[in-house]
Amino acid sequence: MQAAGAVFRLLQGKRGLSRAVRSYGGEATSDAGAGDTSATRSSRRSVDVSPPCPFSRDEVLAWLKEDDDWKLSFLWEEADRVRREHVGDEVHLRGLIELSSYCRRDCLYCGIRASRKIERYRMTEEEVMECVRTAQKLEYGTVVLQSGEDLGLTSDFITRVVRRIKTETPLAVTLSLGERSLDEMKEWRMAGADRYLLKHETSDPELFRRIHPEDRAFPVQSRGKTGTVPSQGPVRLPGTVPALPEGSSNPRVELLMRLRELGYEIGSGVMVGIPGQSYESLADDIMLFRELDLEMIGCGPFVPHPETPLGRQAGESMGTVHNGTVPGFADGRSQVPATDTMTTKVVALTRLVCPDANIPSTTALATVNREHGRELGLERGANVWMPNLTPLKYRILYEIYPGKAKVIDTAEEFHQNLLATLAHIGRVPGKGPGGRKRVIQ
């Protein structure tokens, strides 16, 4: 029985890979499926026809559960081949600027959640522009303006900064400011912002709700110098996206659709190994990436922050995963481990399902595997690196998870290591803004 199951999984894997090869114009393999005529094959290669997804959800699921190193080596190889074929050897560099650590949300996993009494900062326009000039000097193609969900970063402030970047430099601008009002997103787009990054974190509506508390009633934290934010009574904020009714889908997915209509390149992604995340829901996430036709897809492991509710809860269950026993849920599904291997499975499958997307090798991956995480991501499907340009004095305060801030390196010092790493794995720094070059229309 067991042997038959293993053979079945192997066949399932083989079929998945060969279908991926056929659909995206690689060498056809001998087990081309019945009914796959040369006409359908050539129409799939044509750029103006949207090809069917090369993997079924069950095939993605089987790969996520695959533990055999030998079989996985084929997945890594195939993801690397498809990456090379569709987005080349360039690694696009996006300079990350963490504008503000103020946040009105209280996400159960995040180290800068509103209810934590920590020192917070908000950068000035000049400080941001200083980082932008560093990005330009180091020949990065894009700057990513990221922050907690901070209404103290006013619409006007962001508009002014985006305008300055777009008029004073050739850089592309990605915004990653959380859920803001559509009016603001429209204004920033008109000011020249190119892309918006908003991870949907998990496509499981029940899990999403559990880790993103409904009550988003934290005060707007006033603009000022860095300092501890006193806890005030709850107030309702303007400009929030209304909470979705029970049973409806993820609000971030809805917002991504609106952002696309505004003409942004859109990016999403998930955390891998959130306590309560099943393999099934992770397979759904990967299929959703394809459905949303995303330009950017960032996936990193969940890194427990001990000062957060989810971090505390994860302490025990993660230990169990590492000891080899996988905790199950009441309905028999199993917990996804937050490991480097599981994360790179997601990266590799994402590359195969979305061959022309821009996919970063994330800092979270480099945090759980300090020695090789970054390279592993780049060798298993990723083509983007987001070096941190935030001034060191602020970086240490933007601690969404422990070990994230490598505060010993300035941007310039880090850049030398980055170039050496790329050379070591035979890749080159990307030139220009590095937007998505579509294969799927």
By the criterion CB under 6 A, which residues form the site for ligand SAH? 109-110, 146, 148-149, 176, 178, 198-199, 201, 271, 300, 302-303, 305, 364, 400-401
Token digits of residue 76: 């890594």
The DSSP annotation for 96-165 comes to: EEEEE---S---TT-TT-TTS--EE-B--HHHHHHHHHHHHHTT-SEEEEEESS-TTS-HHHHHHHHHHH
In the bound complex, what is the minimum distance in angstroms from residue 74's beta carbon to ligand SAH? 28
- Which residues make Cβ contacts (< 8 Å) with residue 357, sequence separation at least 6? 289, 294, 295, 296, 297, 350, 351, 436
Q: Quote the crossing angle between the two packed helices 182-190 and 155-168, to the nearest 10°.
A: 20
Nearer to ligand SAH among residue 57 and residue 312 (C-beta): 312
| Of 357 and 439, CB closest to ligand SAH | 357
294, 267, 268, 264: which is closest to 190 by C-alpha? 264
> Positive or negative CA dihedral for 270, 271, 277, 278?
positive
**Cβ of residue 354: shortest distance to ligand SAH, in angstroms?**
18
Q: 24 or 157: whose CB is closer to ligand SAH?
A: 157
Q: Which is nearer to ligand SAH, 108 or 378 (CB)?
A: 108
Tell me which DSSP letter residue 354 carries: S
User: Distance between CA 39 and CA 44 in Å, rounded?
Assistant: 9
Tokens, residue 231: 């806890």
Tell me whether residue 21 or residue 321 sits nearer to ligand SAH (CB atom).
321
Least distance (Å) from ligand SAH to the CB of residue 313? 12
User: Which of 146, 339 has the CB closer to ligand SAH?
Assistant: 146
- Please, are residues 107 and 62 in contact by the beta-carbon 8 Å criterion? no
Nearer to ligand SAH, 59 or 179 (CB): 179
Q: Looking at beta carbons only, is 91 or 197 nearer to ligand SAH?
A: 197
Q: Are 337 and 326 in contact (CB under 8 A)?
A: yes
Task: Return the number of the residue (20 or 128) whose C-beta is nearest ligand SAH.
Answer: 128
The residue number whose beta carbon is nearest to ligand SAH equals 178
CB of 390 to ligand SAH, least distance (A): 12
End-to-end CA distance of the chain: 43
CB of 222 to ligand SAH, least distance (A): 19
How far is Cα 306 from Cα 314, in angstroms, rounded to an integer?
Answer: 9
Closest approach of ligand SAH to the CB of residue 436, in Å:
20
Residue 8, token pair as written in the block: 């079945």
The least CB distance from residue 401 to ligand SAH, in Å, is 4
Written as one string, the DSSP assignment of 231-276 is P----PPTTPPPPPPTT---HHHHHHHHHHHTT-EEEE-BEET-TT
Q: How far is the CB of 301 from ligand SAH (least distance, A)?
A: 6
Least Cβ distance, residue 109 to ligand SAH (angstroms): 4
Task: Rank residues 302 and 385 by Cβ distance to ligand SAH and give the closer one.
Answer: 302
Going by C-alpha positions, the residue among 195, 160, 164 that lies closest to residue 433 is 195
Least Å distance, CB 77 to ligand SAH, is 27
The rounded distance, in Å, linking the Cα atoms of 240 and 180 is 7
